[in-house]
């Protein structure tokens, strides 16, 4: 009589296979998007005459040229959002003034989910940008994001044609506006995958700065912000800047947290915090 697999074992094998298939699918999506970007960049390079010009049949995509036109499109898409705006955030930025539309759209009930690359949090002047991380914004951090990206209502997407880090190069290459299509669906799937792997980011409110107190008495919210930034991989200097405290105060508080949790180093502290969030 042939051996029968235990139901739990069979289910686990099926789950692993599904997970592997999903990862393989995402790899194919990312590779396909890279090919599309290369083709559209080449098309844009030979037809740069108009601010917004269709580059694919059926009006699936168009390229936005000119800094003023690009800034206008970024704001317009947000103002037309009905439900949700998703973003990958990393330097460089089109505007040094930050996202001036986000606050009004949050007030109007539009949800924002932003995945910040750690370089965005240590970018010169980032902490001074008005509403850099707005109250009400759902923010997470990751060591890196594959591109700058905005997806609005799961229907339209905006991303730079250049993946470089130089502002002038990114702007001159143009922004790619994608209309409802399988390309937007693929980008949405990519965002959700990266979002799940991000570290929740809690920032101080814009109403005031944390007091400079070595022991942080009665400040569980500040501790939560500190631990969130620590787990995102930011260096101490950047964390202290984001919290509005001195570097020495930050380091003393981290030592105090390690003592109170019985952990010997920051890696153990981060693991302890992660475990507490799962329970």
Whether the link from the prior residue into 20 is cis, omega within 30° of 0, is no
Are both 59 and 149 inside the same structural domain?
yes
With respect to residue 103, please indicate whether it lies within any of the assigned structural domains: yes
Are both 168 and 122 inside the same structural domain?
yes
Are both 257 and 119 inside the same structural domain?
no
Question: What would the two tokens of residue 19 be?
Answer: 């997970």
Are both 128 and 173 inside the same structural domain?
yes
The beta strands (E) that lie in the chain are given as: 52-54, 61-64, 84-89, 111-117, 138-142, 149-152, 156-160, 175-178, 199-200
* Residue 250 clears pLDDT 80, i.e. is over it: yes
Percent of the chain's residues with pLDDT above 90: 24
| pLDDT, tens only, 44-85 | 555 444 545 555 556 789 999 988 899 999 999 999 999 999
* Stretch 218-229: mean pLDDT: 74
Tell me if 257 sits within 8 A of 225, measured CB to CB: no
**The CA-based dihedral angle spanning residues 191, 194, 197, 198, taken in that order and rounded to the nearest 10 degrees:** -80
In order, the DSSP letters of 234-249 are --HHHHHHHHT--HHH
Tell me which of 272 and 44 has the higher pLDDT: 272
Q: Give me the chain's average pLDDT, please.
A: 75
Where residue 266 falls among pLDDT bands split at 50, 70, 90?
A: confident
Question: What does pTM read for this prediction?
Answer: 0.62
* Stretch 243-267: mean pLDDT: 82
């Amino acid at each position: 009589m042939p051996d029968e697999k235990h139901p739990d074992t069979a289910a686990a094998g099926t789950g692993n296979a599904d997970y592997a298939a999903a990862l393989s699918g995402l790899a194919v999506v990312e590779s396909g998007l890279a090919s599309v970007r290369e083709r559209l960049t080449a098309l844009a390079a030979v037809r740069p005459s108009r601010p917004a010009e269709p580059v694919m049949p059926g009006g699936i995509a168009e390229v936005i040229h000119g800094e003023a036109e690009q800034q206008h499109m970024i704001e317009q898409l947000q103002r037309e959002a009905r439900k949700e705006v998703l973003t990958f955030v990393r330097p460089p930025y089109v505007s040094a003034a930050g996202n001036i539309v986000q606050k009004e759209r949050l007030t109007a009930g539009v949800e924002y989910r932003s995945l910040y690359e750690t370089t965005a949090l240590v970018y010169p002047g980032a902490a001074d940008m008005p509403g850099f991380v707005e109250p009400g914004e759902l923010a997470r951090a990751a060591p890196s994001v594959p591109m700058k990206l905005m997806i609005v209502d799961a229907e339209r997407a905006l991303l730079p044609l250049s993946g470089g880090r130089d502002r002038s190069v990114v702007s001159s290459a143009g922004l790619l506006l994608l209309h409802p299509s399988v390309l937007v669906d693929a980008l949405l799937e990519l965002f959700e995958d990266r979002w799940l792997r991000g570290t929740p980011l809690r920032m101080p409110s814009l109403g005031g700065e944390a007091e400079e107190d070595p022991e942080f008495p009665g400040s569980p919210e500040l501790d939560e912000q500190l631990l969130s930034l620590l787990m995102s991989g930011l260096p101490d200097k950047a964390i202290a800047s984001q919290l509005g405290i001195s570097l020495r105060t930050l380091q003393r508080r981290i030592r105090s947290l390690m003592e109170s949790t019985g952990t010997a180093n920051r890696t153990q502290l981060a693991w302890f915090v992660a475990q507490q969030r799962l329970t």
